[in-house]
Structure 1
Amino acid sequence: MSSILTNNGAMVALQTLKGINSGLATTQSEISTGKSVASAKDNAAVWAISKVMESDVKGFDGISGSLALGESTVAVARQASETVTDLLTDIKGKIVAAQEENVDRGKIQTDIVALTDQIKSVVGAAQFNGLNLIDGSSSGDMNVLSSLDRDASGNVNASKIQVSRQNLSVTTPVTAQNFATGDLGANAPDYLSGGGTTQSSTNDALTAAATAANGGGTETITVGQVAEGIGYEIVLDGLDIKTADGSTANGTRTFQYVASDSDGTADVTRNLLSQMNSFFSAATDGSYTAVLGANANEITITNNSGTDVDVGLRATSGGTAGSDVSTGGLGALANIDVTSDAGATGALSSIDALIEKATDSAAAFGSAEGRIQTQADFIADLSGSMKAGIGALVDANMEEASARLQALQTQQQLGIQALSIANQQPQNIMSLFR
């Protein structure tokens, strides 16, 4: 049945043409944008995934910058540590030369001082963007942002590479004038105590607080309280100290530390203990040891020599906190003096420990630098893989789009032709009424 009111053929042709035009518009959008999923309306799930991945790629770009900065900082510290190691090796050569009695030890000492000053210069200059990892200004680790880890629930955690600082500073020991000026009186044992009486006044002669007997005798010293300006002094009398000819002589050694406002009992204990261990390893035959006691504020001294050792203690107030041998990783350099037989012998014993410390520092930084570089390479590869994954999700297949465009253009022309024929159908009814 023919009708002039309803043209079914035209309606079918029109709907077909609309579908063709819609497909053609989509294909043209893919070709112009290069994406099959350009917005959330194209494919909400894929679009959301791609945006999360794109944000991660942006984050990894920032991580690459962090790793580059961290690697440069560590590289500077490693190079400085290697330079310090070389300078310490030169100092060892001077110390070995000073073992001869018929050399000018004064001039050798001058060379050693000059090399020590050069080490100070190297340590002070070993900074990158203001951060120095070897000057002992801080004991906290340097954290280098290394990754963003996303779990299955979508939670993101930042991973970091920890780089331990190394203390290669050369500092000046505390001097007598800033050690103590005030008398604590009866309160002195509250700050420093052992098996006997603790002296307090700088004007009084220091008496033995206890005796660490030979043959494994021990004496435990306790740091009870800490306050800024309090001076802590331990005197060991009767020590067997090495001399230049390889024998030993009876002598006395004093260890001092003035507390700062940031020190606790463990800090004071650790500083005094470090001074003792440095001296015992450099100037004695190993008959004496000092270790932490049962608590972090206790020092236990053991005497395995053939003679008794008197232990004297003093606590004073009014001191000025300053540097000491233990605060600088290479602080023992300040005590090297080869102008005497005993000094030359002691220096030879201590220099190897300093070289080992510098070598260990360079090795630690080298290991950290290698790890940072490996992580940087991984982040670069990971970022590239994620970009490729995003492209696989949202990028248009241009070969397929090109072929589809040609087909749709042909269909569009045919659709227009079909609609034109359908629109002419009512005019054919006129011939029925002629």
Structure 2
Amino acid sequence: MTSILTNTAAMAALQTLRTIDSNMETVQNRISSGYRVGTAADNAAYWSIATTMRSDNEALSTVKDALGLGAAKTDTYYAGLDSSVKVVTEIKAKLVAAREPGVDKDKINKELTELKNQLTSIAQSASFSGENWLFNASTTALGTKQIVASFNRAANGTVSVTTLAFDTTKSVLIDTSQASRGILTKGMQITQPSGSTTTTATYFLVNASAATGATGSEIKISTSTSNDDLDGMISAVESVLQVLTDSAATLGAINKRIDMQDEFVSTLMDVIDKGVGRLVDADMNEESTRLKALQTQQQLGIQSLSIANTNAANIMQLFRQ
């Protein structure tokens, strides 16, 4: 039946053309944005997962920055400890040289004084971003320092931050408030010769004159310094050297851990980006192919609608004389 009121063919062609136009709009949005799932309306589950993981990746980016700051700090303090080990080793060598008969101990003591001044300079200079783990002038101890290491999300959705801890009691070289808190300012008790027997003695390397809690005698020599005292000083310096070596080793281990964690966080961020991409990114090869097909369908739909409208217009031929 042919009707002048209802053009069924044109209506069908128009509906098809509208569907094609809607599909084209979707494909064009995917091509222009690069996302297959750009909003929650596209796929609520995938959009929710992607949004959460992108947020976590931003947190991991901050963690990576914090690890970089932590690495810079530990590098600085390790450099200070390493330099201190070398200076204390030199002090030990000078004390051994003072043990030789006929040596000028006063001149050696001048060298010792300069070496101890160098230790003080190292401790004061090893500062980064306003922090110094080698030198303390405060009445309170530096305590344990925390370095942000990772951002974690548990299976139940709760989040937490993991930190790396370092106890600065293992690294403080000089404490001008409480001498017993500094490796170089606290007294080292040793056993030294005393004639045909032995005795205990306490020596410290750097004299923090304003500090409280200092015990023992400062390691310095003169022409009257006995060989027994020199042996005791050498033993005390050796004890200091061992503590410094252990401290540098601990800080070096923390530094290595930071480097490994930094590498892991970088890898984890890349993996998360890749996982999110698999969920929401558009396949441009597929979308371009689909766009070509839709463009063809659109042209055919327009032509079909034109034919349907033309068929309706042909009814006029029936009323011509």
TM-score range, shorter chain: 0.7 to 0.9
Note if 1:407 corresponds to 2:293.
yes
| AA in 1 matched with 2:154 | D
Provide the C-alpha distance between the structure 2 equivalents of 1:242 and 1:415, rounded to a whole number of angstroms.
105
TM-superposed deviation, 1:281: 7.2
Please list every run of 5 or more consecutive structure 2 residues that lacks an aligned counterpart in the other structure: 180-190, 205-209
Note if 1:394 corresponds to 2:280.
yes
Provide the C-alpha distance between the structure 2 equivalents of 1:367 and 1:361, rounded to a whole number of angstroms.
10
Q: Deviations over 1:22-65 (max 9, x none)?
A: 00111111111111112222222211211111111111111111
Aligned match of 1:2: 2
Provide the C-alpha distance between the structure 1 equivalents of 2:176 and 2:146, rounded to a whole number of angstroms.
26
Mean CA deviation greater in 389-398 or 406-415: 389-398
Choose from 162, 165, 168 the match for 1:162. 165
TM-superposed deviation, 1:243: 4.4
Provide the C-alpha distance between the structure 1 equivalents of 2:259 and 2:178, rounded to a whole number of angstroms.
39
Aligned match of 2:83: 83
| AA in 1 matched with 2:197 | S
Percent identical among aligned pairs is 37
Aligned match of 1:421: 307
Provide the C-alpha distance between the structure 1 equivalents of 2:6 and 2:129, rounded to a whole number of angstroms.
82
Choose from 218, 231, 237 the match for 1:335. 218
The CA RMSD over aligned residues, in Å, is 2.5
Aligned match of 1:45: 45
Provide the C-alpha distance between the structure 2 equivalents of 1:414 and 1:397, rounded to a whole number of angstroms.
26
| AA in 2 matched with 1:143 | Q
Please list every run of 5 or more consecutive structure 1 residues that lacks an aligned counterpart in the other structure: 175-240, 250-278, 284-320, 327-331
Provide the C-alpha distance between the structure 2 equivalents of 1:149 and 1:248, rounded to a whole number of angstroms.
57
The count of corresponding residues between Structure 1 and Structure 2 is 297
Q: 2:136, 2:176 within 8 Å by CA — same for their partners in 1?
A: no
Residues 45 and 347 (structure 1 numbering): CA distance in 2 closer, same or farther, change over 3 Å? same
Provide the C-alpha distance between the structure 1 equivalents of 2:9 and 2:240, rounded to a whole number of angstroms.
99
Provide the C-alpha distance between the structure 1 equivalents of 2:176 and 2:113, rounded to a whole number of angstroms.
13
Q: 2:152, 2:162 within 8 Å by CA — same for their partners in 1?
A: yes
Provide the C-alpha distance between the structure 1 equivalents of 2:178 and 2:35, rounded to a whole number of angstroms.
70
1:188-267 mapped onto 2 (5 Å cutoff): 242-243=192-193, 245=195, 247-248=197-198
Q: 1:17, 1:412 within 8 Å by CA — same for their partners in 2?
A: yes
Q: Deviations over 1:121-178 (max 9, x none)?
A: 101101111111122453422111111100122211011111222121165998xxxx
Q: 2:53, 2:276 within 8 Å by CA — same for their partners in 1?
A: yes
SS of aligned partner of 2:135:
coil
Provide the C-alpha distance between the structure 1 equivalents of 2:274 and 2:175, rounded to a whole number of angstroms.
52
SS of aligned partner of 1:38:
coil
Choose from 245, 253, 268 the match for 1:367. 253
**Greater helix share, structure number:** 2
**Greater strand share, structure number:** 1
TM-score in terms of structure 1 length: 0.64
TM-superposed deviation, 1:66: 0.6
TM-score in terms of structure 2 length: 0.85
TM-superposed deviation, 1:282: 6.8
List structure 1 runs of 4+ shifted beyond 6 angstroms.
none
Choose from 304, 311, 323 the match for 2:212. 323
Residues 172 and 163 (structure 1 numbering): CA distance in 2 closer, same or farther, change over 3 Å? closer
Aligned match of 1:380: 266
Choose from 345, 351, 355 the match for 2:231. 345
